[in-house]
Amino acid sequence: MFDHTRTDEFIDFIAGIPAIFHPKYAVDDEQLGEIWRHVGHSFNISEKEANAQWELLSRIHRIMNDDLPPQAFYSTTTSTGSEWLEAEQALAAALSPFYRLRLDFLLTDNQQKMKAVIGLVAIVALCVLETSATLQNVTVRGIAVCNKRRLANAQVQLYDRDTLDPNDLLAEVHTNREGEFELFGSEDEIGSIEPFIRITHNCNAKPGCSRRDDYDVPKEKIGDVYDMTYVTLDIIVHGEKEIC
């Protein structure tokens, strides 16, 4: 039985025998059988087991690159996409981060060049995005008030709102005994950051529950100090949420 802890070694071994997968090496069945006997002997398995293991890896590599046409690959497999089992698809998904690039020697030269160009374009695009992002900051301060009294120990968080990703938490504090808070946060962002304050508190909340209010920071206060002065928490704001 094949020792799967030697999969990396097995792939490297096959990569050194292009006659197995490259069509320019016109080997006959007898020669190919001799090659597989040699592979099997090297890994303490039979010729049939060695061939089957390679067939599995070849199919898995196809699944990892299911967006590519058959002519993008050197090797041929005995199965087509519709015949691949769900187990192999799951295995391909699990192994893809580890073996997809290692098996890319099965791709034709043109396909490898194309992937290299795409990778280079992606790297350049990422560099452009990184260089176009600017570090922006904002300071927010205020006093939390509940029923005309300053509210201590309310949770105050400063976030940067993201459209596609989860909002980024920039800073977090709790109001002091006088209900005061001050936060500073900074973020590298393409375009303008969209900061907002989130206050979680128990002002006029149901027993065992808390209220959560969000307050947008004006755009003109980015790079400056936004003084909210008194934040009246007993007033219900739009979008308020109750947490129980």
**Domains of the chain listed by start with CATH number:** 4-107 (no CATH), 134-243 (2.60.40.3330)
For the chain, helix, strand, coil in percent to 5 are 40, 25, 35
Percent of the chain with pLDDT over 70: 71
25 band by pLDDT with thresholds 50, 70 and 90:
low
Element (H, E) at 99: helix 86-99
> What type of residue is 217?
V
pLDDT, residue 93, reads 66
Average pLDDT over residues 159-164: 84
What pTM did the predictor assign? 0.48
Closest CA to 144 of 154, 136, 134: 154
Angle between helices 29-42 and 47-64 (to 10 degrees): 90
Average pLDDT score over the chain = 79
The model's pLDDT over 64-94, given as tens digits with 9 standing for 90+, comes to: 777 676 665 666 554 444 455 666 666 666 6
Average pLDDT over residues 212-226: 94
Hey, how many other C-beta atoms are within 10 angstroms of the C-beta on 206?
10
Average pLDDT over residues 109-113: 50
pLDDT, residue 233, reads 95
Three-state DSSP class for 79?
A: coil
Average pLDDT over residues 207-229: 94
57 band by pLDDT with thresholds 50, 70 and 90:
confident
